[in-house]
Each structure stands twice: as structure tokens, then as C-alpha cells.
């Protein structure tokens, strides 16, 4: 079974959109490779955890359909998604912590995308910092 289905993948992209709020020049999450990266990342987790993440993403989608304006999480506007997340987070601290964890996962997958990094001005791509002018003591 794939770590992310069509629906859970769209919810993850929606989470990245809500948490990272990309705007020009940053690309929309759905146009990046974040779903592929997240898919691969989740595949490395134990099956129980994988199912829990996928279940939580689907539950988020369903919660959107149950609560006004009765639109699934992925189909909502960014503002409506954030409102829903805040509302769900107020249920209990562990729910808020779980939302936070999912959001961070989505944010990492989004910011790992090469086009996002490029838009940020990070064109090198090399993990080795060489010749940097910012390594030493502050002025």
C-alpha cells in the first residue's frame, strides 16, 4: 500500500499551504515534488505510524466536511484551513500537538523542494558550506 493516497496527499499539500503560506515567488505546494518526497519519507516509518499519519490526514479532510462551511480540508481556502486547524487544536493539547507534527512534516517536505529552495535564493544545492562570508563572528 502506498504511504499516501490521492486524498491524503492533497490534505498534506493543503497543510503545507496553510502552515507555510507560500506566495510569490514561492510555488504552490501542489506544483512541487513535496508529495513524492513525503511519500518516500513516510514509507520509511513503521506501518502503524504510517497508517496513523494517513488516518489523521483523512480525518482532517472529514472534519472539514463535518464542520462549517462543510468543505473538505483540501478544498478550503487557506484562511478556512487555518481556522479549522485552530478549532480542532482547541479540543485538547494532544490534538494540537498532532496537528503541529503533521504541519511540520508538510512544511519540511515543501521546503525540501528544489524550486522552493531556488526561490529562496539558495541556488547552490551543495550541502557543503564553503567560502561563506557568514560563518565567523558578527560584525
Residues forming the site for other proteins (CB under 8 A): 18-23, 26, 37, 40-46, 48-49, 78, 82, 85, 89, 92-94, 96-97, 100-101, 103-104, 107-112, 117, 120, 122, 125, 127-130, 132, 134-139
Cell numbers standing for residue 121: 535564493
| Residue 84 burial (CB count, 10 A) | 22
Compute the 3-state secondary structure of the chain and give helix, strand, coil in percent, each to the nearest 5.
60, 0, 40
Q: Judged by CB, which is closer to other proteins: 75, or 89?
A: 89
- CA 48: distance to chain centroid? 20
Closest CB to other proteins among 6 and 24? 24
Which residues have C-beta within 8 Å of that of residue 132, sequence separation ≥ 6? none
Which of residues 6 and 138 has its CB atom nearest to other proteins in the complex? Answer: 138
Q: How far is the CB of 129 from other proteins (least distance, A)?
A: 5
Distance CA 95, CA 89 (A): 5
Q: Indicate the residue among 1 and 137 with the shorter CB distance to other proteins.
A: 137
515543501: which residue's cell? 110
Nearest-approach distance from CB 53 to other proteins, in angstroms: 9
Which grid cell sits at 128? 557543503
Tell me the closest approach of the beta carbon of residue 112 to other proteins, in angstroms: 4
CB of 55 to other proteins, least distance (A): 15
Amino acid at each position: 500500500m502506498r504511504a499516501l493516497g490521492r486524498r491524503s496527499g492533497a490534505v498534506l499539500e493543503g497543510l503545507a499551504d496553510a502552515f507555510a503560506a507560500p506566495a510569490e515567488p514561492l510555488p504552490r505546494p501542489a506544483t512541487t515534488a513535496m508529495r513524492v518526497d513525503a511519500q518516500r519519507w513516510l514509507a520509511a516509518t513503521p506501518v502503524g505510524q504510517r497508517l496513523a499519519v494517513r488516518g489523521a490526514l483523512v480525518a482532517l479532510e472529514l472534519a472539514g466536511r463535518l464542520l462549517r462551511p462543510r468543505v473538505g480540508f483540501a478544498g478550503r481556502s487557506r484562511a478556512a484551513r487555518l481556522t479549522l486547524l485552530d478549532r480542532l487544536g482547541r479540543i485538547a493539547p494532544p490534538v494540537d500537538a498532532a496537528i503541529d507534527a503533521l504541519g511540520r512534516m508538510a512544511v519540511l517536505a515543501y521546503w525540501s523542494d528544489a524550486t522552493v529552495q531556488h526561490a529562496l535564493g539558495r541556488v547552490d544545492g551543495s550541502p557543503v558550506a564553503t567560502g561563506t562570508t557568514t560563518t565567523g563572528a558578527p560584525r
